[in-house]
Amino acid sequence: VLSGLTAGRAESVLAQPASAQNRRPPHAIRRRARRLLDEGWLFARDDGDAAHHHAAIAWRPAPVPHLDAGHTTGGAATPIWYRRNLRMPETWRGRRLFLHFEGAGDVAEVYVDGVRAGGHAGGATAFSLDVTEPLRLRAPGAEATVTVRVAAPAQPGPAVHRVGLHRNVWFVATEEVHLDLLDSPGVQVETADLDAARALVRVRGRVVNDADTATTARVRSRVLDAGGVVVADAQSEVALAARATARFELELPAIAHPHLWSTETPYLYRVSTVVDSGHGRDRVDVPLGLRHLAADATGFRLNGAPYRLAPTGLHEGAMGRHPHSDAARIQGLRTLKGMGVNVVRMPHDAQSATVLEAADELGLLVWQELPPVRRATLTGSFAADHLGSVREMVRQRSSHPSVAVWGTSDELALPGIGPAPQPGDLTHEMVRLGDELVRAEDPSRPTASAGADPVAGPAGWVAALYQAWTLSRLYPSLALPYAKQPGRPARATHTASVGDSANGVPGPETLVLAGSPGSDRPGDRGAEPGLRPVGRIRAARKLHRRSA
């Protein structure tokens, strides 16, 4: 694996120690002035507004990232509050100031000196809030108080909600004219055409003018190879009205004889985009892996060649008890890669940008997924919040070549444990809308709704099946939709490190099932009509035995 070399030693997340991995800034802010706000936080539980009156409730220290141990299941619970003092560096005066949250779950409201600065729904995606005006009014050296209220969504069900500031929080400064960073890095990179002879790359984004006067800015994007050599370069001018946002799109010259990204040779380019208004520069770098994915009933292909998948799943944390560090998750990916795994489903939550960087470098294909999970109360407002998170997931993570599949839900109608009937068949409608939204944002990747049931019908490529033992013993009906759709591929994505004692699942052994009309193999445990096992991960069983 070329990992660290292809990323450039100075850029490689795998080359960093665990402490640096946990403090690694995401691409959206890495080239900007920033400060990590990991210390100085206090937290308290309160279901009113007493947190604004600091002496009214008991505060305790809380290093961030932080999770409230009292919130481990779905459903409404007492909100928790965080607060800390914040001082603007004098060198940042005259610039735009933002608070950037990598993850605040699940519903967050942010206040500066008691005045609401903004909010966000969805704990798995990042967001930024402009806090320039309240901080600009502070006298030199004076401190403001930042207060954050986080709560679980009011929905019943067994889904685990991470209530807290469970990822890093950053204080960021940009120029008045800058790439937009409120819901994405501000830059989206597409591979418009790719073969062995050349690669065509397109860069899109939004430029924001926060000044009171109109201006013109020059936008320049360059593609650099693993050695830092520029292999493609394009630029254009963008006219910006006062207090306005403008879009740009650049078609870069062809990259001759490109190095392709694959799971064996994960070669990484870098796209560097700079906005220069004549009064300062703003820069965002994102990774670029040149590869082509395709999947249909005949199988999966990577860069035009048939490719055998060895998949498993990796949850983000430990049931909400504490924040699972990026370094720990990266070590988990290393372990899976060493076991021979080449596809990792990251169920229920889109994991951090740092973890995806590691997957890019290791050469792992990733199924990125967001809730809702089972029994969600699919009200109109909940659906709107979820779809907003899906859009953010795609915009924030589409530059990572490791991302192979976008997942928009999990087990919404799993037989026996799914949600109650929803008004207007909202369950199916949410899956359809999520699928359409993802395809509009990123038509280059397959989509998925996990759960082998008819609600997954609109999904483009895959739906999660579970252990063949589970299929045959507990949920034999799960296989039926695929037996009835012989042209539709399916993929098993769950293993368990300790089995599922509640349901009597004996141990981890994942059968990879393809929905095709081939004959059943006698002796293949759990095979259902129309489903044929095409692979098995034995390494998971070995890992289970070592940990038992």
Question: Helices 353-362 and 326-339 meet at what angle, rounded to 10?
Answer: 20
Residue 154 φ then ψ, to 5°: -80, 75
The pairs formed by 462-465 with CB atoms below 8 angstroms and a separation of 24 or more are 462/295, 462/367, 462/405, 462/489, 462/490, 462/491, 462/493, 463/490, 463/491, 464/345, 464/347, 464/410, 464/491, 464/492, 464/493, 464/494, 465/490, 465/491, 465/492, 465/493, 465/494, 465/513
β-partners of residue 281 are 276
Distance CA 370, CA 162 (A): 13
User: How wide is the angle at C-alpha 67 spanned by C-alphas 130 and 336, nearest 5°?
Assistant: 100
Residue 2's alpha-carbon distances to 7, 24, 355, 385, 485, in angstroms, are: 8, 21, 17, 39, 40
For 315, how many CA atoms within 13 A lie in the half-sphere containing its CB?
16
CB 131 within 8 A of CB 117: yes
Residue 178: per-residue pLDDT: 97
Place of tokens 């940008």: 353
The token pair at 323 is 């924040």
Query: What b/e string do you get for 214-228 counting C-beta neighbours within 10 Å, with b at 16 or more?
Result: ebebebbbbbbbbee
Q: Is there a contact between 260 and 271 (Cβ–Cβ < 8 Å)? A: no
What's the confidence (pLDDT) of residue 523?
30
The pTM score is 0.83
Q: How many helices (H) and strands (E) does the chain have?
A: 11, 31
CA 458 to CA 478: how far, in whole Å?
A: 16
- pLDDT per residue, tens digit, the chain (548 aa), is 334 334 445 589 999 999 999 999 999 999 999 999 999 999 998 887 666 666 667 899 999 999 876 555 444 568 899 999 999 999 999 999 999 999 998 899 999 999 999 999 988 899 999 999 989 888 888 899 999 999 887 654 445 567 899 999 999 999 999 999 887 888 999 999 999 999 999 999 999 999 999 999 999 999 999 999 999 999 999 999 999 999 999 999 999 999 999 999 999 999 999 999 988 899 999 999 999 998 777 788 999 999 988 888 887 764 444 566 899 999 999 999 999 999 998 887 788 999 999 999 999 999 998 866 555 555 667 777 888 888 999 999 999 999 998 888 776 655 544 445 555 456 667 777 888 888 899 989 888 777 654 544 444 444 444 433 334 444 444 444 545 555 555 555 554 333 333 333 333 333 333 332 222 232 333 333 333 333 333 333 333 333 33
pLDDT at 288: 98
From 305, 286, 224, 301, select the one nearest 258 (Cα to Cα): 224
In contact, 219 and 207? CB cutoff 8 Å: yes
**Nearest of 506, 508, 498 to residue 541 by alpha carbon:** 508
> What are the DSSP calls for 464-528, one per residue?
EE--HHHHHHT-GGGGHHHHS-TTS--EE----SS-BGGGTB-S--EEEEEES-PPPPTT-TT--
Torsion over CA: 88, 91, 97, 100 (sign): negative
Say whether 424 sits in a helix, a strand or coil: helix
pLDDT of residue 66: 92
CA-closest candidate to residue 458, choices 431, 421, 423, 485: 431
**What domains lie within the chain, and their CATH numbers?**
18-175 (2.60.120.260), 182-288 (2.60.40.10), 311-547 (3.20.20.80)
pLDDT at 371: 65
- Using left for φ > 0, alpha for ψ between -120 and 50, and beta otherwise, residue 159 falls in beta
